[in-house]
Every structure is written in C-alpha cells, then in structure tokens.
Amino acid sequence: MTIAPVQRTASLGSSAWTDARLIMALEEVVEKELNRHLQVAKDWMPHEFIPWSQGRDFDGVLGGEAWSVEQSQVTPLGRVSLVVNLLTEDNLPSYHHEIATMFGREGAWGTWVHRWTAEEGRHGIAIRDFLLATRAVDPNELERARMSHMSEGFESDNAHSMLHSVAYVAFQELATRISHRNTGHHAGDPLCDQLLAKIANDENLHMVFYRNLLKAALEIAPDQAMRAIADVVTDFRMPGHGIPGFERAAAQIAIGGVYNLRIHHDDVLQPVLRHLRVMEITGLGPEGLRAQDELGVFLGGLDAQATRFDERQAALLARRAARQAAQ
C-alpha cells in the first residue's frame, strides 16, 4: 500500500505552497541528499561493539543470575540517560509511520524513509544488546518501560505541515546526536562511549540530510519555511517526552550535563540556525519577517534562561561536592 502525502494548504494566502507541491518541488534535493548520504554513511556492524563475553544467563526460564546494580560499571546518570535514549529509539515504528505518512513511500522520498528507518533500527538493537550483555540496567524494568512506551505510540506535533516536520527533524536529529554523545561521555564505560559515538555519527548524518533539505525549503518558500522554523524552535520537545517518568529522568539528565537548556541552545539550535543563516535572511515578506523576529526574541530569552540554569546547576553541584567532602 502506498501512503499518499497529506495535502494541506498553509494559512499564508492563495500563493502559499501546499505540502504536496513542496514534496514534489523538493524531490530532486531529496535525491541529491540521499545519494550524498549513501556515499558518506559507512556501514557498521552493531554486534562488533557489544562485549558479549561479559554476558550470562538471567534468572527465570534459564535459572541464571538475577540482575543487581553493582554488576555494571555504568554510572547512575549513564543508566538513566541510556534508558531514555533507548526507549526513544524503540518507538521507531511510530516515527516511521509519521514520516512515511508525511513524505510518502515512493521515489527518492520513499527510499530515504526506508533507509533512515533501517539505520535507526540499528541504534535500538545495539543499545539494548549492550545494556543486556553488560547488565547495565534492570532488564525487567527496561522491558516493562518499553512495553508501556511503545503501547502509547508517538504522534508528531508537526503532522499538520511538511515544513514543520522537516524543521523539527533537523533539530531533533542533532539533539539526539548530542544526547548519545554526552551519554557516552558520562557513562563511565569506554565501550559504551565507543558504541554511542558510532550511533551519534549516524544521527549527525541524519541531521545534515534534513538541514540541507530545510535550506532548499528556505530558498523555495522562505516565508513559510521561516514560520515553520520559528514554530518548531519555540515549541520544541524531545520525542521521548511520553516515556514513563520522563520528567524526573530529564531533570537528572539536565543536572548531570547530558542535555539541558544550555546544551540545547548552544549545541543544537544555534549550529543549525547559524549554518542556515536563518537570522540573516533578507527579502522576506511580512509573515517571514514576523517569524524571524519571534525567533530572535525567543533565542534571547532562552539564552538568559540557560544562564540561570547554569548558575543553579553550578550551585547544586557545589552543594553536592561539599556534602560529599563532609562525609
């Protein structure tokens, strides 16, 4: 069955691009970017990154050893972050549904959708194999969380607009890259860091694909693309927001320096916006200018908020260090 792209007209008057027209107009860019991606993406074998020799039977059916926390050298922050990252990857069937519905499954778009899905599938497999072989997290809790999270499914906040969808994934792929990368740095296990660096590299290539597509969209439909970028940036949330206990995990991940407002502003939003020269684009119509202004105001506010977060984080970490020193 072929899923036809959703046809909608944006609220920018009769000259506005519909999603169907944009999808057709961008097909050539998709083909070019797909070919570039296939040339630079090096195939890798997830099983080579897993220390299988550390693995052994669990309790239950095989009567092996039950999981307990001291069996792994992974840090508490690493555990929380790895679980959030894995559960996020696990919801791939929902993401595939969302992008296949939006971009279609034909031509270059379809080839990209399937290739991207296959690459993302590798991430969940590799992280789960690593966590189970090294006993880094409670396997029962992990499986219950996966069932609960996937049973909820995922619905895109941007299913109403093709440009919003492209803008979202450009930022989200970079957010995922940074999240995997920093999780690796904080995991306390060099093999985990090595695996997450490999995965982060894939996420970076995904970001480049969508960012280049967004660049082409800014040239074809600058006002609508600017509106989409402003909407997505000002209302951004990670795809894992539906994970059980997400708020608490996100707070630990923020304090621990894996992903927080400062990182979101400096390492995710700004690099994409600067690369596309979003704040310097001229010749916009009234709607594009309004969106660009909104974006500028928002980024200023976010930077200030991130600075307040930095201060609170520094104070909290200093208190923790003082408490530890007094013990």
Q: Is 18 helix (H, G, I), strand (E, B) or coil?
A: strand
Binds Fe ion by CB under 5 A, chosen from 19, 90, 98, 120: 120
* Cα–Cα distance for residue pair 325/322, rounded to 1 Å: 5
> Hey, which residues between 260 and 289 contact Fe ion (CB under 5 A)?
none
* Cα–Cα distance for residue pair 250/236, rounded to 1 Å: 14
13-21, 112-120, 252-260, 286-294 -> range binding Fe ion (CB under 5 A) = 112-120
139-147, 198-206, 217-225, 247-255 -> range binding Fe ion (CB under 5 A) = 198-206
Contact at 8 Å (CB) between 189 and 74?
yes
Q: Binding to Fe ion by residue 98, rule CB under 5 A?
A: no
* Cα–Cα distance for residue pair 46/310, rounded to 1 Å: 36
DSSP 59-91: SSTT--BPP-GGG----HHHHHHHHHHHHHHHT
Q: Which is nearer to Fe ion, 198 or 206 (CB)?
A: 206
Contact at 8 Å (CB) between 258 and 183?
yes
Q: How far is the CB of 116 from Fe ion (least distance, A)?
A: 7
Q: How far is the CB of 120 from Fe ion (least distance, A)?
A: 5
Q: Which is nearer to Fe ion, 126 or 162 (CB)?
A: 126
> Hey, which residues between 170 and 189 contact Fe ion (CB under 5 A)?
173
Helix (H) or strand (E) holding 285: none
Q: In this structure, what DSSP letter does residue 9 have?
A: B
Q: How far is the CB of 169 from Fe ion (least distance, A)?
A: 8
Q: How far is the CB of 232 from Fe ion (least distance, A)?
A: 16
Q: How far is the CB of 207 from Fe ion (least distance, A)?
A: 8
Q: Is 45 helix (H, G, I), strand (E, B) or coil?
A: coil
* Cα–Cα distance for residue pair 261/321, rounded to 1 Å: 22
> Hey, which residues between 199 and 218 contact Fe ion (CB under 5 A)?
203, 206
Binds Fe ion by CB under 5 A, chosen from 37, 79, 96, 123: 123
Q: How far is the CB of 253 from Fe ion (least distance, A)?
A: 17
- The binding site for Fe ion (CB under 5 A) comprises 120, 123, 173, 203, 206
